[in-house]
Amino acid sequence: MRIRHLQTRIIIAFSVLLLIVQVVSLVFVNSFISKSANKDIEHNLLAGEKIFNSIRADNTKWLTQSAGILTSDFAFIKAVATGDRNTIVSVLQNHGGRINADIAMLVGTDNVLVADTLARSHAGQTFAFPQLIKAAEEHGQTSAVVMFEGKLYQLVVVPVMAPLPVAWLALGFVIDDQFSANLKSLTGLEVSFMVPRADTRQWQLIATTLPTENANTLPRDIHSSSETNTSNETDADAYVKVISLANEDYLTRISRLKLNTAAGNQEAVTVLQQSLDIVLAPLRRLQMILILLGVLALGATLAASFRIARNITRPLRDLGTLAQAIEQGRYQSNTVVARDAEVHQLASAINNMAQGIAVREERISELAYRDTLTGLANRTAFVQAIEDYLRTEKRFSILLMDIDRFKDVNDILGHHIGDLLLKEIVRRLLEQTQGQWSMLARLGGDEFGLLVESDTPQAAIQLSQQIRTALDQAILLEGHQVIASGSIGIVHSPLHGQQQNALLRHAELAMYASKRSNSGYVVYDTALEAHAKQNLSLMAELRHAVEHQELKLFYQPKVDLRSNTIAEVEALIRWQHPKRGIIPPDQFIPFAESTGFIATITEWVINEALRQRHQWEQMRLSLSISINISARDLLNPRLPQIFEQAMQRYQASADWITLEITESAIMTDPQSALEVLNHLHQSGFRMSIDDFGTGYSSLAYLKKLPVSELKIDKSFITDMENNHDDEVIVRSTIDLGHNMGLHVIAEGVENQATWDALRDMGCDSIQGYFVSRPLAADVLETWLQSSHWKFKAQHHD
């Protein structure tokens, strides 16, 4: 039928046009927002998986640190070594309770459970995961997700060292509904964990946040290899699909999770879900509203239609822009404001989603760039700041600070006090040096880094002095008074380098130079690098020295004050370098100890001393020889065997040798030291405590040592006649030694007055330049013949 009225035709034309516009708009909005919502959900699922992995990594780190604290506890190690099961169970329960661990197990070296914290103990049974013990043996520690007793656990395994592994400690958190609920509170996603059934190819639901109805309908063949990966952001170990649960659609991300069971390695799955129905509900309401608006618009005027179209399309465009900004990672875009309630609801949902993603990403970034103990920037952030400064060509200084004797605080007072000390140091630095630096970071352990913007190193030097002042006062921590000091290395860019790695390496060289010199701080100098390179070559030179007989033993006599006779000498090593001449031991022994080469040098000294003593025996020169034993030597389980082989080689008697051990060497690892010393004592060797008075040992502990002699350190002897305090210490030490039934010898005697004073105090023997300097073996033989000191062969019981 032909319509003749223009008004009607115009109305019909505009009505049809408006209808078309409305239909097209509805289709466009539906398609655009649906795709955007799906993509956002996929991003949420991927972010949720990252958070889950981050939580697993944090749990592993926390368990590893907690296990490290427990396995370094002396009492626990002793209980393990002695097989004190009650103490072991008590320690496991107490320590596990402190860190909220759900399972704690101690496994013997025979792979048998010694103790656990389970309600039904499995002690005496074979440990269900021997592959974890093997992995921990190879790597020093290991972590895994395991299936045990029908529950899923995140487990770490570390060795209990004494000093070799005597047992294996396993700590773990359970992955259950509560764990899933905590993860859901962080991600806003539904979380489920599934493991394969042992008897079928189906999957068993272990933990979930889904309602019971939805959980019951979750497919049990969910992890099929034939599934199609619907996401561009997943990898071979994860895929995304839509799953219907109780007539509700969920966009689901399914990730493989390596699982250890008693039957071997298998796979579990992590299922992260977000309801499509809930997310798309605002879109469906918007569709109905748009249809209604379209019907009403048919009877409205062109202006009303235009106004309605404009009010609808503008917020939709804004939402599209916001969605694109979110896709590109820009979460701080302008908030979309819509007048229509339905569109406003959708806009609010998208705005809230953007803010939620931003908060979660900020938290992930914080975990990546912040030190959890002190709240300072970590090494990653510090290195990034250096790179930024270098890129912008700023002039700046780096201060690298290491806390002196921090390891002693941890070993003696415990890691808890060590953590408190680090926090107090940070508090003082923030309080007394704030504004002097651009960044303060904890780089790891007891190492800190500071960035200072300045044209010269002078500002960094002044800051170093302020830091020393800030740390000068004693720190009281839970009844323990601790003196904290730091060794600081300073570099300046561009003066000392223009690359991040070079600057940090130079700062570390300067820091170690400061620690060696005890100067507080050292500014980097190229000579430090030359010294470091010289140390690298020193190892090769030391090996060459041992192999080519460049090492020599000199012998310093000891005089018995009661009989004025010489019956013993101390063997002192010298390095006869072909280019640098005689090198004293203090220039190479510390390096040998730090690198472990001291074991080779000690073996050479033992053989050389016994060879010389064998030669003197043939000459009827019966001198006993004292040999110094270092801390590294006492930790060498082969030391008794080395002595036995050398004794057999030279047909030696045990009374030929006296072993001198320093206090500090004994206290480095008292238990191991006592075992080695008892072994040597049973072989007939005499023992002497060298440098007595300079260490931190307990007299109660020293009473347990199989020693027969105390040797007073020369630092108390040298100035004894002018220093009353030194005289009191020496007299008290002599009386103490005699009360303990020990022979007392004083070293460092250089004049007659000191000789007379020691004799009056009742000292048994003396050693020092007043008697003789250390002499080569042939020179000593001649000296004994011409010396006014008497020589008398003497054997000690």
- Domains of the chain, each with CATH number or no CATH: 27-300+315-366 (3.30.450.20), 379-524 (3.30.70.270), 550-791 (3.20.20.450)
Per-residue pLDDT, 298: 61
Helix residue spans in 370-414 (DSSP H): 379-391, 406-413
Per-residue pLDDT, 696: 42
Per-residue pLDDT, 340: 61
Over residues 496-521, the pLDDT tens digits come to 888 999 899 899 888 888 887 778 89
Q: Which helix (H) or strand (E) covers residue 640, if one does?
A: helix 639-649
Least confident of 75-89, 572-586, 592-606, 694-708: 694-708
Q: Which helix (H) or strand (E) covers residue 242, if one does?
A: strand 238-245
CA–CA dist 570, 343 (Å, integer): 94
Per-residue pLDDT, 767: 94
The encoded tokens of residue 407 equal: 């390891």
Confidence bin at 328 (pLDDT 50/70/90): low
Give the residue with greater pLDDT, 674 vs 442.
442
CA–CA dist 178, 340 (Å, integer): 40
Buried b (16+ CB within 10 A) or exposed e, 775-792: bebeebbebbeeeeeeee
Residues composing the chain: 797
Among 209, 67, 246, 84, CA closest to 142: 67
Over residues 611-632, the pLDDT tens digits come to 999 999 999 888 999 999 887 7
Burial of 691 (0-12, 13-18, 19+ CB in 10 A): buried
Over 80: is that where the pLDDT of 724 sits?
yes
> Contact, 632 vs 593, CB < 8 A?
yes
Over residues 58-98, the pLDDT tens digits come to 888 888 888 888 888 777 888 887 788 888 888 888 887 88
**Residue carrying structure tokens 């070079």:** 502
Among 53, 141, 154, CA closest to 99: 154
DSSP category for residue 334: P
Over 50: is that where the pLDDT of 17 sits?
yes
The encoded tokens of residue 675 equal: 């075992």
Instruction: Specify the pTM.
Output: 0.43
Per-residue pLDDT, 651: 93
CA–CA dist 595, 219 (Å, integer): 59
CA–CA dist 382, 450 (Å, integer): 8
The encoded tokens of residue 615 equal: 């030669």
The encoded tokens of residue 502 equal: 């070079």
For the chain, what is the mean pLDDT?
A: 81
Confidence bin at 337 (pLDDT 50/70/90): low
Buried b (16+ CB within 10 A) or exposed e, 296-333: ebeebeeeebeebbeebeebbebbbebbeebeeeebeb
Percent of the chain predicted with pLDDT > 70 = 83
Over 60: is that where the pLDDT of 233 sits?
no
Confidence bin at 594 (pLDDT 50/70/90): low
Least confident of 73-87, 288-302, 584-598, 702-716: 288-302
Per-residue pLDDT, 552: 93
Confidence bin at 224 (pLDDT 50/70/90): very low
CA–CA dist 230, 623 (Å, integer): 87
Per-residue pLDDT, 6: 35
Confidence bin at 262 (pLDDT 50/70/90): low
Buried b (16+ CB within 10 A) or exposed e, 11-42: beebbeebeebbeebbeebbeebeebbbbbbb
Per-residue pLDDT, 339: 61
Over 90: is that where the pLDDT of 491 sits?
yes
Long-range contacts of 55-58 (CB under 8 A, 24+ apart): 55/183, 55/186, 56/145, 56/154, 58/367
CA–CA dist 27, 29 (Å, integer): 6
Per-residue pLDDT, 665: 64
Per-residue pLDDT, 527: 75
Buried b (16+ CB within 10 A) or exposed e, 570-598: bbbbbbeeeeeeebeeeebbeebbeeebb
Half-sphere exposure of 639 (CA within 13 A, CB side): 29
Among 688, 680, 673, 682, CA closest to 628: 688
* 776: helix, strand or coil: strand
What does the longest C-alpha to C-alpha distance in the chain come to?
148
State the amino acid at position 250 in one-letter form: Y
Average pLDDT over residues 250-259: 83
* 740: helix, strand or coil: coil
Per-residue pLDDT, 796: 41
**From the CB of residue 469, how many other CB atoms can be counted at a distance below 10 Å?**
12
Per-residue pLDDT, 475: 84
Per-residue pLDDT, 795: 43
Least confident of 47-56, 325-334, 392-401, 575-584: 325-334
User: Which residues are 147's β-sheet partners?
Assistant: 152
Per-residue pLDDT, 333: 59
Q: Which helix (H) or strand (E) covers residue 541, if one does?
A: helix 526-547
Over 70: is that where the pLDDT of 309 sits?
no
Per-residue pLDDT, 734: 93
> Contact, 487 vs 510, CB < 8 A?
no
Over residues 453-480, the pLDDT tens digits come to 988 889 999 999 889 888 878 888 887 7
User: What's CA 92's distance to the chain center, in Å?
Assistant: 22
> Contact, 760 vs 730, CB < 8 A?
no
The dihedral through the CA atoms of 226, 231, 233, 238 has a sign that is negative
DSSP category for residue 227: P
Average pLDDT over residues 768-786: 92
Average pLDDT over residues 653-673: 78
CA–CA dist 581, 103 (Å, integer): 62
CA–CA dist 558, 571 (Å, integer): 11
Least confident of 9-23, 147-161, 191-205, 474-488: 9-23
The encoded tokens of residue 541 equal: 């030179």
